[in-house]
Each structure stands twice: as structure tokens, then as C-alpha cells.
A and B are shown apart, each in its own frame.
Chain A
Amino acid sequence: MNLQRPFQVVAPTLDGDVLTLLARADRPLTGRAIARESGASHGGVQRALGHLVGEGIVTRERAGRAFLYRLNRGHLAARWIEGLASLRLELIDRLRGTVAAWQVSADAVVLFGSAARNEAGQRSDIDLLLIRPATVDYDDPVWREQVRALESAAATWTGNDARVLEYAADEIAKEEAVLDIAAAEGIELHGSLRRLLRTARRRGA
């Protein structure tokens, strides 16, 4: 699925992108702002808004020479629209819940790459960085099964391939650009990669 455009799962039209922007917005938006954010034409956005206002799911109010649009959060469909618009947050919640329940706890788990930057497309991988405790062997069967199940679950939840990048805690002191990138742009799902890196590099220095 495309985490940036979640309505593509059920409604691959501009209406879905317009609803996503309105559901995520904490203030009303002009048609021009929606066109800019969605990358769609102004005419296309106006047609979509006309249809959605007709359905009552979007409200329109005049503000000087422009119109302001907002999601009608009292509409019967609003709850499900808000749910679809927040699928990326739902994914993060599920990943956090899964790794928090692990029998062999990870030192850190980070979602990084395009899904973390909110730039993921339909075919983007779900990139997960795992820091395995130094006391846990790579081949530990419980650990391996947890990792496999996490990859499988993430793929099932999204339809995208999940790629796990795994390091043991005693490997991270070495210069690894990808660890710095994951620490800078990633979403921490479990533990703190930033703290682990600081500690490991202080010890290694």
C-alpha cells in the first residue's frame, strides 16, 4: 500500500487524497492549498470538493473571496475516513505493540527509510532496524522467530515488503552511516537507538 495516500487501498481517486488532507488537518483548508499539498490540478480538486460537499462529508464556508473546506467530523463516515487517513500511525502502533511483547527483548527497534519520512510509495519497503542484545546469539531460535514474525506481520499489514537490518549491540560502535541516518530520521519503536549509539561510541573512543 501507499502509506502517503492511504485511500488508494479502497478508492484510487483524487477524492481520497482530498479526504486524507482534510482528515489530517487541524484547520480548514482552501481549495488552492489542497491542490498544492496533493499535487493535483486546481480544477480536479474543485470537482472532488464539489462532490464531497454534496455528500456532506466536507463542509464549505466563505472566507472573503475564497472558500474554506473542512472534514465534517460529525458525519457517519468520518470515523472511518479518519481511520484510513491515519494508517501510518496505526502501522507504527502495531509495530510498537509487537516488539514490546517480544519474549527476547530488543535493545532498540527503529522504523526508518521512506515509511519513517512519510514518503513511502505503493512499492516502498518497510525498513526496520533491530539492535539485538549482545547476550543474544544471532541464531537464538526465539529471537529468529520473533524477527521473522515481525517481517511477516508488517508485510501482511501493508502489502509491502519488510526489510530488517539487524546489528548486535556490540557491533554498533563501529562507524556505520546507516545507523546515524536511522537515528536522525527514524521513528523509535522500542528502546533508544540514539542513546545506544552515544554510549557505544563513548566507550569505543
Chain B
Amino acid sequence: MTPRTTTCTQAIKAGRMRKAEQFADAAETIREFADHEADIGDAYVTLLIHAGIAAADVICCEALGEHAHGESHTDAVELLRRVRPDGSDLGIALGSLLGAKTRAGYSHQPVNKETRVRSTRAVDKLLRAARDRYR
């Protein structure tokens, strides 16, 4: 399947990078100020998901000149996997965040510690890759 994409401009790339940093900073802030990390787990992971998606867009913009467009999780992961040389690992990181998003949409249970830790790791990887590439 051909992923649905949008051609990147410098403005799109800069805007997505700003959002990635902003969401990641906000996630870290609410985590630092929470008495118990579990109390803010859902908000924390939701912010990480937004940060990860924005970071993936920046990576795709820099490497491919286009980013995924629309709601399709499959499109977003498949496009990121085309990035060389680390697209496969980055795709797994984004897939993990989008999996958490799907589960948050269906479940009434608070996000568990395993998902918080996994999402933090995934965003770290995506943000690092976005910062390394961003020009």
C-alpha cells in the first residue's frame, strides 16, 4: 500500500520539531510535579504519543521529503521504515507509541507502568533521531 503523505516544507518541518519538543517537555513537567507517577500516567503517555508522532514527521521530512498524512497508523509506521539506516528500529518505536494510543482509546484502565516506561524509551529514540537530522 502506498502511504498517504504530504510534501514537507521548511515551515512544516520546523513546526513539527517545535511540537515534538513542546509535547516532550510538557510530559516531563507533569511527571516531575506528580506525587505519584501512576496518577498522571494517561496524560503523560498521551503527551509522549504526540511528541513521538511529531518527531517521526520531522525524521521523514528530513530523510524522505514527505511525512505521513491522516489517521493511518500503518501509513505512519511504513513510511518511517523507509528511512535509512535506522528506519526499522524507529518504526518499532513509533509502532509501540501508536499501540499505546489504540489501547488508550479502548480501555478504561489507567496506563500501566510497563507502557509508561516503554513509551518514554520510544520517544527518547524518536526525538534523538529527529534532533540529529533536523536542519
Q: Which residues from chain A sit less than 8 Å from chain B, CB to CB?
A: 138-139, 144, 147-148, 151-152, 154-156, 159, 161-167, 171, 174-178
Contact = CB atoms under 8 A, between A and B. Distances in A.
Interface in B78-127: 78, 91-92, 95-96, 99, 102-103, 106-109, 112, 114, 118
Contacts of A178: 106-107
Interface of B: 1, 71-75, 77-78, 91-92, 95-96, 99, 102-103, 106-109, 112, 114, 118
Nearest to A167: B103
Contacts of B106: 165, 178
A141 B99 CA distance: 15
B91 A161 contact: no
A161 B73 contact: yes
Main secondary structure of the interface of A (DSSP, over half): mixed
A175 B109 CA distance: 8
Given A148-B77, A151-B77, A161 B102 contact: no
Contacts, number: 55
Main secondary structure of the interface of B (DSSP, over half): helix
Given A148-B92, A165-B103, A166-B103, A138 B74 contact: no
A163 B102 contact: yes
27 contacts: A138-B96, A138-B114, A138-B118, A139-B118, A144-B95, A148-B77, A151-B77, A152-B78, A155-B1, A155-B75, A159-B1, A161-B71, A161-B75, A162-B73, A162-B74, A163-B73, A164-B99, A165-B102, A165-B103, A166-B99, A166-B103, A171-B112, A175-B108, A175-B109, A176-B108, A176-B109, A178-B106
